[in-house]
Amino acid sequence: MSSVSAPKFYETKKFKDKVKYTFVTFVLIAGSMLILLPLWWMISTSLKSPAEIAQYPPTFFPKEFHFNNYIEAWQTAPFTRWALNTLFLASVGTIGSVLVNSLVAYGFAKIHFKGRNPLFILVLSTMLIPGFVTMVPQYILFSKLGWVNTYLPLLVPAFLGSAFFIFLLRQFMLGIPNELMEAAVLDGAGHLQIWWHIMLPLTKPALITVAIFSFNGAWNDLLGPLLYINDESMYTLQIGLQTFKGTVQTQWHYLMAMSVTVLLPVIFLFFFFQKYFIEGSNLSSGTKG
């Protein structure tokens, strides 16, 4: 009888899986390093002296750590005031975005009315309109309303809803059993009570996702404040960063130090709510009608 020879190790499924795992791991690590490289360069530059920044070839690690760059950069301009302005805009805009978008999403997910689906498609179609197309009409409208050099053009749009946030919250709400609504209706609850007492608590992961996106967008917004804010006392941090960019020379050590400072709140916010963010982004639960 002829014996069947055992396959060689490099032909086995175990070996192939190991090679595949090693390759995928290497690609992910390499990709992560490429993504983190600009962040590290920003941090490294923020700790260098102007002379070391200008030297060639550039140094990847600072020869001396100049932590005083952060203090000096903060003191060159009223950054405390600008930070409070930015925090106010981001906080109020986030609250408005969460409340309005969740209320509209509740209507599309749980209230049956004639033309609901076509109207929802119409709302989604607004995502196809580039923001630059509406920029000039918006400015003309806000200018005629006398809102230029106020925070209203930056806050009011947050209370008017976002197609993407409405879609995300609606998909999440579709996964909530209708029996909960029916039980609340039997107890005499109206739609606003159902939305506030049932939907909002059950959609907390999705709400946190919307809040993170909204806060991050408002915190990092440069174009909006640049268009509508003229008073220096009303500047935001993103406009404040431009003070380090001169017509002849840019103070890179101060600019990078303040850029790191501005970036830290967003990073901490994401890592603190990372669990809810991932759960809220997973819309596989939104499959029920």
Picking from 45, 61, 58, 63, the residue whose alpha carbon sits closest to that of residue 250 is 45
Q: Is the pLDDT of residue 10 over 70?
A: no
Tokens of 160: 């008017």
H/E stretch holding 172: helix 163-174
SS3 content of the chain, % helix, strand, coil (to 5): 75, 0, 25
pLDDT band at 17 (very low <50, low <70, confident <90, very high): confident
pTM: 0.83
Structural domains of the chain, ranges and CATH numbers in brackets: 69-285 (1.10.3720.10)
Percent of the chain with pLDDT over 70: 91
Q: How many CB atoms lie within 10 A of CB 216?
A: 16
pLDDT digits (tens, 9 = 90+) for 204-214: 989 999 999 99
Determine the residue type at 258.
Answer: M
What's the mean pLDDT in 259-278? 85
pLDDT value of residue 288: 43
The more confident residue out of 243 and 105 is 105
> CA of 68: how far to CAs of 43, 197, 199, in Å?
13, 49, 49
Residue with tokens 């197309």: 133
**The two three-digit tokens of residue 202, written as one number:** 């059950």
For 51-107, write each residue's pLDDT tens digit: 888 888 888 888 888 999 999 999 988 999 999 999 999 999 999 999 999 999 999
Say how far apart CA 205 and CA 195 lie, in whole Å.
15
Q: What is the pLDDT of residue 278?
A: 75
Cα–Cα nearest to 157, from 107, 118, 203, 214: 214
- What's residue 16's pLDDT? 73
pLDDT at 8 (0 to 100) = 57
Query: How many Å is the Cα radius of gyration of the chain?
Result: 26
CA distance 285 to 101: 19
